[in-house]
Amino acid sequence: MNAAAATLGVGFVGCGRIADLQCLGYLEHPAAEIVAVCDVDTGRARRRAEAWGGARVYAELDALLADPRVDAVEILTPHHLHAEQAAAALRAGKHVSLQKPPTRDVAELDLLVATAARSGRTLRVFENFMYYPPHRKARELIDAGAIGTPLSVRLKTAAGRLGDGWEVRPETQAWRLDTETCGGGATTFDHGYHCFHMGEFFVPAPVERVHAFVHWTELDARTKIDGPALISWRYAGEPPRLGSWEVVASLGMRVRSRYYVSDDRVEVHGSEGILWVNRCTGKLLDEPSVVLYRDGETRAWHDLATDWAESFRLGVRDFVDALREGRRPPQTVEAARRTLAFALAVQRSAAEGREVALSEIEA
């Protein structure tokens, strides 16, 4: 942000489906403005720019980066472009908010981190689940000792009947179903990144070893998707702590959602209690979003903001505020590197049918 600027000028690089949510925090923030948009589909870029109040439209990233009104970029492109685009932005003196997963491998990320360090600009990896109000409430409770020492995290992603939520056009999904451009499975690498991050968010210990059962389901003659999947892991150190994430696709089941037709639920088990987060993304059941059990009592929260979009709003607001206040956003690149290694270890475990140590990936 220019010293003189009262307002953070933001350039969107890529404006597919998720830009619908990523834009909200900028549009609502009094000290931010979306000033530039860049997309390979210039028609789409133009429609977005108009909807967002008249940002300039660029066909090329370099042109956008040359725009002095752009103080920071929001990168929402396919994963194989992340490393190069983010590095270019940093070199151009822009701050970068990079949609998770940050890169396809650790080496790409390390190069990017080095570039960021040289640039003096902020690179933050954006993972919205950590901003979802029920997740934050659960984390606060854990930090306050509500369940004693966290001992286990269990996540479950329940995907349902297509057509009940967001329409996502198949052609825009193609890159995500190609492991070359995605960096791994659309389910276990791309969506998995969120869940693995939650595994780290709720238990204050590094993950040490992982095991994955992943089935690749054929969608058509040329396309496969990595699900169902069941991932388990062990944290390092004492006390012994374990975690798991399962994703099941119930193609005949109604999952109420305004977004992706799936719902994510978390159970965190501690030495003295249990905590449940009963929704994220969709809304399978009408029930309190956070429930705590301890000492024969449950406490349940009925008025948290539970719309999934809220996590995007809060995550973007935090990025803008962190830049203005000169502090690091909470998602450090170090943390993102660990989550990336976790997600990559899962890919390897599934491919090789064996337990994988994160140290194999992180080295």
Q: Applying CB under 8 A, which residues contact a copy of itself?
A: 148, 151-152, 154, 156, 158, 209, 211, 213, 215, 217, 228-230, 232-234, 240-244, 246, 248-254, 256, 267, 269-274, 284-289, 293-303, 353-355
Residue 118 vs 215, nearer CB to a copy of itself: 215
The least distance separating a copy of itself from the CB of residue 159, rounded to whole angstroms, comes to: 10
Q: Which long-range contacts (CB under 8 A, 24 or more apart) does 59-68 make?
A: 61/13, 61/85, 61/88, 61/89, 62/88, 63/38, 64/11, 64/13, 64/36, 64/37, 64/38, 65/11, 65/89, 65/92, 65/94, 66/92, 67/11, 67/35, 67/36, 68/2
Return the beta strands (E) in 167-287 as ranges: 207-220, 223-235, 242-249, 262-270, 273-277
The least distance separating a copy of itself from the CB of residue 282, rounded to whole angstroms, comes to: 11
If DSSP codes are grouped into helix, strand and coil, which group holds residue 240? coil
The least distance separating a copy of itself from the CB of residue 250, rounded to whole angstroms, comes to: 5
| Residue count of the chain | 363
Residue 126 vs 235, nearer CB to a copy of itself: 235
SS (HEC) of 129-191: HHHCHHHHHHHHHHHCCCCCCEEEEEEEEEECCCCCCCCCCHHHHHHHHCHHHHCCCHHHHHH
Chain CA centroid to CA 237, Å: 26
The least distance separating a copy of itself from the CB of residue 350, rounded to whole angstroms, comes to: 11
Residue 103 vs 244, nearer CB to a copy of itself: 244
Residue 296 vs 326, nearer CB to a copy of itself: 296
The least distance separating a copy of itself from the CB of residue 8, rounded to whole angstroms, comes to: 31
Q: Which long-range contacts (CB under 8 A, 24 or more apart) does 112-116 make?
A: 112/82, 112/83, 112/86, 112/87, 112/333, 113/333, 113/337, 115/86, 115/87, 115/90, 115/91, 116/90, 116/333
The least distance separating a copy of itself from the CB of residue 311, rounded to whole angstroms, comes to: 18
Asked if residues 281 and 191 have their Cβ atoms less than 8 Å apart, the reply is no
Residue 180 vs 295, nearer CB to a copy of itself: 295
Residue 118 vs 254, nearer CB to a copy of itself: 254
Asked if residues 37 and 48 have their Cβ atoms less than 8 Å apart, the reply is yes
Q: How far apart are CA 58 and CA 42, in angstroms?
A: 8
The least distance separating a copy of itself from the CB of residue 205, rounded to whole angstroms, comes to: 13
The DSSP 8-state label assigned to residue 67 in this structure reads -
The least distance separating a copy of itself from the CB of residue 166, rounded to whole angstroms, comes to: 16
Beta strand 56-58 with 32-38: parallel, antiparallel or unpaired? parallel
Residue 117 vs 300, nearer CB to a copy of itself: 300
The least distance separating a copy of itself from the CB of residue 228, rounded to whole angstroms, comes to: 5
Residue 250 vs 359, nearer CB to a copy of itself: 250
Residue 206 vs 228, nearer CB to a copy of itself: 228
